[in-house]
Amino acid sequence: MKKLSLLLAGFLLMGTASAQNNSSSELDDLIKVGIQAGIPVSDAKDISSAALGINISYQHLINTNVGIGFATGYTNYFGDDTTKTETGLAGLTSQTIKTKNDDFGIIPIAALFRYYPDNTGFYFGADAGYGLLINGGKGSIETTDTSPIGTTTTEKDFDNSEKLDAGGFYLRPEIGYHNNDWNFFGYYQNTFMSDNSISSLGLGLSYNIPL
């Protein structure tokens, strides 16, 4: 995540310099660099506690209201732990199983569409394409057995990545407010796979770099 933060800071600095050097008010071609934060929903909420990402996109205005282009980036889903405890022998013994899910992520390769009713104000749009799953299905299981004679704990890594799809159809609608420099938005992001979906709901902002 440190590398992602440094990359974002570099793009924002480039964007500031570009905006200062650009004397034209035309924003037909833009690079948009942004960040987003959200909560996992659907299947993802069972294995992740939060989502944080960066977005990089190119947009071309085909008229004053409609922008098209392509989008990519990276959304990191922070792994969450789940714990289950069972007791036996009249409560004298117990077993606690803690599943520790590793972080995983989605890299989108998507087409971009935006609609701007006015030069400043409300807008909406969506990105659609393919979402590549990174580091999915990995973690560890910690088992703790307790009895009158003592407690033992073991931990074993697991890797279910081969059982998961490499990715799936990616869809990310967003709605928000925009001006010449910034976009503030709410979004829903989902990568549809055969057995589950990786999705999040949240807020974000992006900075426009004129080309």
User: Cβ(11)–Cβ(181) under 8 Å?
Assistant: no
- HSE-CB at 139 with a 13 A cutoff on CA atoms is 18
Going by C-alpha positions, the residue among 69, 67, 102, 97 that lies closest to residue 82 is: 97
72-101 residue pLDDT tens: 999 999 999 999 999 887 778 999 999 999
Query: What percentage of the chain exceeds 90 in pLDDT?
Result: 79
Handedness of CA 22, 176, 4, 191 (dihedral sign): negative
Dist CA 28 CA 10 (whole Å): 23
Residues in the chain: 211
| pLDDT for res 1 | 45
Domains located in the chain, CATH noted: 2-210 (2.40.160.20)
Q: Measure the CA–CA gap between 120 and 133, rounded to whole angstroms.
A: 35
pLDDT tens digits along 108-146:
999 999 999 999 999 999 999 999 999 999 999 999 999
Q: How confident is the model at residue 26 (pLDDT cuts 50, 70, 90)?
A: low
Q: Is the pLDDT of residue 22 over 70?
A: no
